[in-house]
Amino acid sequence: MGVMVSQGDPRLAVIGRRLARVARVVPVMSSKGGVGKTLLSCLLALALSERGARVGLLDLDVTNPTAHVVLGADLSKFPEEDRGVVPPLIGGVKFMSVAYYSGENPLPLRGWEIDNVVREVLAVTIWGDLDFLVIDTPPGIGDEVLDVLSYFPKHEPLVVATPSPLTVASVRRLLKLLTEAVKGELIRVVENMARDDSDIIADLAKKFHVGFLGKVRFDEGVDRAVGDIDALRRSRMYKDVSMIAEKLL
Partner 1 sequence: MGAARVVHEWALAEAIADYVFKSAPSAKRVRVTVRLGELQAVDEGILKFALREIMKSEGIACEVVLKREDCVLKCRRCGHEWLLKEVEFGEEVREAIHFVPEVVHSYLKCPKCGSRDFEVIKGRGVWVEEVSWE
32 binds its own copies (CB under 8 A): yes
What minimum distance in Å lies between the beta carbon of 237 and ligand ADP? 5
Strand partners, 133: 25, 56
Given CA atoms 129, 24, 142, 161 in this order, what sign does their dihedral have? negative
32 binds Mg ion (CB under 5 A): no
CB of 159 to its own copies, least distance (A): 13
Q: What is the crossing angle of helices 143-151 and 111-124, to 10°? A: 40
**Closer by beta carbon to Mg ion, 65 or else 91:** 65
Q: Which of 28, 121, 174, 225 binds partner 1 (CB under 8 A)?
A: 121
Cα→Cα distances 204→39, 137, 171, 200, Å: 22, 21, 9, 6
By CB under 8 A, residue 108 contacts partner 1: yes
> Quick check: helix, strand or coil at residue 159?
strand
Residues between 117 and 156 with contacts to ligand ADP, criterion CB under 6 A = none
Q: Is residue 238 a contact partner of residue 44, using CB atoms and an 8 Å limit?
A: no
Choose from ligand ADP, partner 1, its own copies, none: what does 64 bind? Cβ within 5-8 Å by kind.
its own copies
Asked if 31 interacts with Mg ion (CB under 5 A), we say: no
Binding residue for ligand ADP (CB under 6 A) from 48, 192, 204, 213?
192
Helices 165-181 and 200-207 meet at what angle, rounded to 10? 20
Among the listed ranges 15-23, 29-37, 50-58, 99-107, the one in contact with ligand ADP (CB under 6 A) is 29-37
CA distance 33 to 35: 6
Which of these ranges, 43-51, 122-130, 140-148, 235-243, lies near its own copies under the rule CB under 8 A? 140-148
Distance CA 123, CA 8 (A): 14
Residues facing residue 28 across a β-bridge: 136, 158
165 binds partner 1 (CB under 8 A): no
Task: For residue 82, state whether it binds its own copies (rule: CB under 8 A).
Answer: no
Verify binding: residue 38, Mg ion, rule CB under 5 A. yes
Residues 6+ apart with CB under 8 A from 233: 46, 50
Residues that bind partner 1 (CB under 8 A): 1-11, 13-14, 16-17, 78, 81-85, 98, 100-103, 105-110, 113-114, 116-117, 120-121, 123-124, 126, 146, 149-150, 177, 180-181
